[in-house]
Chains A and B, each alone.
Chain A
Amino acid sequence: MAPLLLAGLMFYFIINRLAQALLVMAVVSAISFSLFNFVGDPVNNMVGQDATREQRVEIRQQLGLDDPILVQYQRFMLNVAQGDFGLSYRIKQPVSQLILEKLPATLELVFASAVIAVFLGIVLGVFTGIRRYSWVSKTIMSVSLIGVSLPTFIIGIGLIYLFAVYLRWLPSSGRAGVIEIGGWKTSLLTIDGWRSIILPAITLSLFQLTMILRLVRAEMLEVMRSDYIKFAKARGLANRAIHFGHALRNTLVPVITIIGLNIGGLIAYSVITETVFQWPGTGLMFIQAVDFVDVPIMAAYLIFVALLFVVINLIVDILYFVVDPRIRRGGS
């Protein structure tokens, strides 16, 4: 296929996917907006208990809370289209600024747990795949069940009591050692910062780690049975070269796909981890917004998460398009 034609096809494909993505975003925002009706009434949280009924009515009118939900949605989307997410009901700060302030903490936490999940997941997966009958493997497999079966909340509290209260090695919560570099507040450049990120990062990574471990292990078992591995063994190649040079490489395609799709999940699921560890990211902000019925923050956060999933999916689609010729044919 000529490069020019390929580029054209790719362009068409991306436009097509972007249109779909916009539709998804619109649907997500509409659904989430209609759900806010059931979360409760923010006005009661916004004024003191002494406020009169007239004052409450007045605030409802100011915020347009009595308008039909469609009218509220339209007003919200018009503002969003102009980049205005409004002010938080709770702390009266601009929502977009709040999300940008909280985002580095969440992204660093997600990054740290992704590194843990990928590194440990692959190493342990390869190990348990090769030495599947050793007692170490069996132990790893049993322990890894914890990662999928125990709720994040319990794991987090358990780690806090073990490492912060009992052993006193690490801080129980919070994000310490924050320094600012070029507008980005990071905690990854100080010892205190690393000490405070370890527990939440492990907590958040456990589920993904388990999944990657089991996937790699299954793929390894599959690949190790294949003819080319048998042939490699027959040729007398070193085990190391067989395991890592041939077997592992061929297991990685599905693993990479899963990792890609799960990064979005890590950000979305950081809500609970951040709450348990008082990690000052977007997830903690979202939970506080739900408690308060802080509609502007909830709406913006859900749209942000939807956008994240859409973008990640788009990237994965594009990668497929580049890698897999069959999709290219379907696209034309």
Chain B
Amino acid sequence: MNFRKMAKLSSVALIMATAANAENVLKWTSQGDALTMDPHSQNESPTIAFNGQIYEALVARDIEMNLVPELAESWTASPDGWTFKLRKGVTFHDGADFTAEDVVFSFNRALEESSDYKEQVKTVSNIEVIDDYTVKLVTAGANPILPNTLTNVYMMDSGWAKANGVERPQDFAAEEETFSVRNSNGTGPFMLTSRAPEELSVLTRNKSWWGDAMYPGNVDRIEYRPIKNAATRVAALLSGEVDFVLDAPLQDLKRIEATEGLTTKTVAQVRSIFFGMDQSLDELRSSNVKGANPFRDIKVREAFNLAIDKDAIQRVVMDGLSFPTGIITPPGVLGNTPELDKQYGFDLDKAKSLMAEAGYSDGFEIQLDCPNNRYNNDEKICQAAVAMLAKIGVKVNLDAIPKAQHFPKIQKRVSDFYMLGWGVSTLDSHYVFTYLFDGEGSWNGIGYNNARVNEITKLIETETDIPKRTALIDEAWHIIKKDMPYLPIHHQVLGWSMKDNVDVPIAADDHLRPRYVVFK
């Protein structure tokens, strides 16, 4: 769509907005716009959420994060893969039928070199078309959690993609933008009517959506306007210009709740915040301890754990909006149990004696690397930790920097002591083990390498006996809980704000799901 057409359409949309008052128009805002309309190009949460209104996957998550049918009606496991029965009578927005051929095409597209969803689908070695409405995703061995990893792998129409030359997602070295960056053709409940990136995107209800009668949502049109500045975003809600703000600052929630006609909702997010302590080196880079790595001593790690008062962080820094924890995976993820979730506790005396036992009664010096624009109050949490660790004699030098500089430090393994948060999109502990605990994990910046945990990480990839698999996960978490390689702080809390004439059910993955949004 060119700009002239877009401008026309948006002015038409504006006229319609003033003409038809009976329409339920959801005007909402959040910090950042979707980066692209291409469903396989960017594995980024706001982009996934936005495109999830237009495109659909075989399976989806409902508001409570349960796995529910979307384009597949049912699925069954076998030792060499999963068979999906597709929903019949589904059409794309341009009218084309959704069939097995589109599933094959979409998976192959997601497997392309330039796709950002390769990791989600990499275990799929082949896709067999059994009939027009049955496909089998063949895996190299059993994969018990394959459906969990497919909720963000959206289905495209093969005919549309070919006609517009977008059989592959755009790669970074491309010369020109491709058609699918600004245009879309999904099967979802909303169709993209107009889009001016970073300004306004208008979506209209897909009247022939398969789920029309099954979901309570009564939104006819969505107008999404990103607002980067947090104070401006809140102002737009207070002035009544928008109905819903996804990401108002946590410290503003009380004021919004106290405003007449507005309300807020909170939920525990599927993201845990923790500190990493590098145990891979013989000598830390930023410490004054020479010839030894204090983090290799479990007594030091335990002392750090006991010296940081997570309840105080919750109370003072987070305004009550966090869930202190002892495990870096939140409730709702398979593997989290109330017992594991219990924090290590706060015991300054014991921490001091542990430090003395380890031979650091006078403490030591170390640098803490921390992002300042990624997590809720990230820098303030680190500042609190600095003060708390000072009480056991550890002099912490804080380096709080933007995320674009912080994360490469962990990736390049050059940080001794760092803050990180981890969200679990599959809601299964495997996603935590394989990235954070496995000896080869790409985000394992601490050099943790426990043979049994590595083994379990491999075993649960193929173990289909669910009770047995759950027991393995539990075993790994108990080893980790004892080893304390990381220092868990809390699970984050999400806060959504809205007018009280609209019910926007909050979801722990921070994705707006308009099919559940009801204007009263």
Say if the beta carbon of A226 comes within 8 Å of chain B.
Answer: no
Q: Which of A42, A62, A92, A178 contacts B170 (CB 8 A)?
A: A92
Say if the beta carbon of A93 comes within 8 Å of chain B.
Answer: yes
Q: Quick one: given A180-B3, A185-B7, are A48 and B116 in contact (CB under 8 Å)?
A: yes
Q: Quick one: given A94-B177, A101-B3, A278-B225, are A157 and B231 in contact (CB under 8 Å)?
A: yes
- Kindly list chain A residues whose C-beta atoms are within 8 Å of the C-beta of B116: 47-48, 51
- Nearest CB to that of A59 among chain B residues? B172
Q: Quick one: given A52-B442, A101-B3, are A280 and B118 in contact (CB under 8 Å)?
A: no
Contact present for B44 and A160 (CB under 8 Å) = no
Say if the beta carbon of A300 comes within 8 Å of chain B.
Answer: no
- Nearest CB to that of B231 among chain A residues? A157
Contact present for A87 and B402 (CB under 8 Å) = no
- Report the count of interface residues on A (CB-CB < 8 A): 56
- Kindly list chain A residues whose C-beta atoms are within 8 Å of the C-beta of B21: none
Contact present for A278 and B404 (CB under 8 Å) = no
Q: Quick one: given A63-B173, A278-B228, are A284 and B181 in contact (CB under 8 Å)?
A: no
Contact present for A44 and B196 (CB under 8 Å) = no
Q: Which of B235, B241, B404 contacts A292 (CB 8 A)?
A: B404
* Alpha-carbon gap, A284 to B32, bound state (A): 12
Contact present for B241 and A180 (CB under 8 Å) = no
* Alpha-carbon gap, A42 to B407, bound state (A): 10
- Nearest CB to that of A293 among chain B residues? B404
- Kindly list chain B residues whose C-beta atoms are within 8 Å of the C-beta of A161: 235
- Nearest CB to that of B422 among chain A residues? A49
* Alpha-carbon gap, A137 to B437, bound state (A): 69
Which of B35-43, B460-468, B470-478 lies at the interface?
B35-43
Contact present for B174 and A92 (CB under 8 Å) = yes
- Kindly list chain B residues whose C-beta atoms are within 8 Å of the C-beta of A160: 231-232, 235
Contact present for B239 and A92 (CB under 8 Å) = no
- Kindly list chain A residues whose C-beta atoms are within 8 Å of the C-beta of B225: 174, 278
Contact present for A49 and B172 (CB under 8 Å) = no
Say if the beta carbon of B339 comes within 8 Å of chain A.
Answer: no
* Alpha-carbon gap, A41 to B10, bound state (A): 37
Contact present for B120 and A168 (CB under 8 Å) = no
Say if the beta carbon of A30 comes within 8 Å of chain B.
Answer: no
- Kindly list chain A residues whose C-beta atoms are within 8 Å of the C-beta of B118: 55
- Kindly list chain B residues whose C-beta atoms are within 8 Å of the C-beta of A47: 43, 116
Say if the beta carbon of A291 comes within 8 Å of chain B.
Answer: yes
The 4 closest A-B pairs by CB, nearest first: A48-B43, A40-B404, A41-B408, A40-B405
- List 20 A-B pairs, Cβ < 8 Å: A39-B405, A40-B404, A49-B422, A50-B119, A52-B119, A62-B171, A62-B173, A94-B177, A157-B235, A164-B235, A164-B239, A165-B238, A172-B235, A173-B236, A178-B7, A179-B7, A276-B231, A278-B225, A278-B227, A291-B373
